[in-house]
Amino acid sequence: MTDEPILLADGPLVELDRLDATIGWTLKPQGLCRDETCVIVPDRSALERDGLIDVTAVAALLDRPSVVDGGSGIAAIGAPRAARRGALVDLVAPDFVLPDLDGTPHALSDHRSKKRLLVAFSSW
Amino acid sequence: MIAVAIDEDVDKVRAFTDGITYPVLIDADHLLTELYAISNVPTVLLIDEDDRIAHPNWSAFATDTFREITGIDSAAQLAAIRAWVLEGTIPIDPDDARDAVGDLSSEEEQAKLWFRIGVHLHHAGDDEQAGTAFDTAAALAPHDWTVRRAMLPLRGGDPFGQGYLDLAAEYNAAGRPYHGVASARNA
């Protein structure tokens, strides 16, 4: 799922043909696209730096927060804000996929049509 | 019932799960803290058959183990959950549900990302740079326990020791800000 957290250990600048693998969206003439959805890119040059694509600029277009650590060079991209606002304002539970203790992925939507009690806990 | 550990330590989490048959998931990247604006654990959400949030972030406890500290009466919460499950009783007015959690501020969003960078650096063996990232995260979201308390074991600290007590004092002094329904307190 491309809305999952992204960590770019080598920094936010990637080759154009690596953009899809990095963030799940592709730059096409009609804009930034994923499957059948495209987002208009008002200023394509704002996405580019040194001949590479700045993934944090792409993230901003997708309304996802980002941080670049100047010290280590690592870039982190967060989840789409729209998903959280859907939860808080529309009371719609955003789907997610996470592994169990054996590594098997489970989605919230695996149990759709059932009431679910979601408990977030920790060892700390 | 779905339990999600906001945690990257699989072994420590596994220790909690003896005899549990429902899914226990690992959220090492703290994704749910972004998607659901979770700032502390335990946080419980009730989600209905149509993916609607029947009750948003709830500081709910299943037992009264911590009642002396939190003042939270688990019986009332369990009764509400039971009524929802068995009778479909709506546990909170939807208008109250919409006001209950509060969106993450820009600083809180960034803090979670700095935390993630810190975790990566820690696992890469660079605890000096990890510490800088963790300090940045802590300054941005001083009352997000999924940032401040979660980082303690990653920095050689004890999340049940003095570091925790210091956090709790700061948190109390700030008025116990929590993204969610804190539950009626007796204390």
Residue B187, judged by CB atoms within 10 A of its CB (0-12, 13-18, 19+), counts as exposed
Of B53, B84, B120, the CB nearest to A87: B53
Which sign, positive or negative, has the C-alpha torsion B3, B142, A11, B125? negative
The span from the CA of A123 to the CA of B44, in Å, is: 16
Please list every residue in chain B whose beta carbon sits closer than 8 Å to the beta carbon of residue A86.
none
Residue A104's closest chain B neighbor by CA? B25
Per CB-CB distance under 8 Å, the chain A contacts of B127 are: none
Residues of A within 8 A of B94 (CB-CB) are 91
Contact: A87, B51; criterion CB under 8 Å: no
Beta bridge partners of A118: B2, B45
How close B186 comes to chain A (CA, Å)?
Answer: 23
- Phi and psi for B56 in degrees, rounded to 5? -80, -175
Please give the pLDDT value at position B130: 98
Q: What is the pLDDT of residue B75?
A: 82
What is the Cα–Cα distance from B174 to A95, expressed in whole angstroms?
A: 32
Q: Which of B159, B13, B28, B118 is nearest to A124 (CA)?
A: B159
Location of structure tokens 């939860």:
A87
The pLDDT value recorded for residue B184 is 56
Nearest chain A residue to B119 by CA distance is A7
Instruction: Residue B41: name the closest of B81, B91, B3 by CA.
Output: B3
**B96 falls in which pLDDT band (50, 70, 90)?**
very high
Angle (nearest 5°) at CA B113 between B108 and B116: 130
| Mean pLDDT, rounded, for B4-29 | 93
In 3-state terms, what secondary structure has residue B43? strand
The tokens for B156 are: 């050689």
Q: Which residues of B touch A63 (CB under 8 A)?
A: none
pLDDT tens-digit profile, chain A (124 residues): 458 899 999 999 999 999 999 999 999 999 999 999 999 999 999 999 999 999 999 999 999 999 999 999 999 999 999 999 999 999 999 999 999 999 999 999 999 999 999 999 999 9
What is the C-alpha to C-alpha distance for residues B136 and B142, in angstroms, rounded to an integer? 10
Which positions ≥6 away from B169 have C-beta within 8 Å? none
pLDDT of residue B65: 60
| Three-state DSSP state, A117 | strand
Q: Which residue of B has its CA nearest to A75?
A: B117
Considering only alpha carbons, which residue of chain A is nearest residue B95? A89
ipTM of the prediction: 0.95
Expressed in percent and rounded to 5, the helix, strand and coil fractions of chain A are 25, 30, 40
- The total number of residues written for chain B in this structure: 187
pLDDT attached to residue A23: 93
Q: Closest partner residue to B121 among A72, A92, A121, by Cβ?
A: A72
pLDDT band (50, 70, 90) for residue B187: very low
Residue of B45, B85, B150 with shortest CB distance to A122: B150
CA distance A107 to chain B (A): 10
DSSP letter at B4? E
Distance CA(B126)–CA(B154), nearest Å, equals 12
Q: What is the pLDDT of residues B108-165, one digit of tens each?
A: 999 999 999 999 999 999 999 999 999 999 999 999 999 999 999 999 988 899 999 9
Query: What are the tens digits of pLDDT across the range B33-79?
Result: 999 999 999 999 999 999 999 999 998 766 666 555 556 667 888 89
Q: Which amino acid does the sequence have at B4?
A: V
pLDDT in the model for residue B63: 60
Output the CA–CA distances (angstroms, integers) from residue B137 to A3, A38, B34, B107, B131, in the order listed: 22, 33, 14, 9, 10
Domain locations in chain A? 6-81
Distance separating alpha carbons of residues A98 and A107, to the nearest angstrom: 7
Type of residue numbered A59 = A
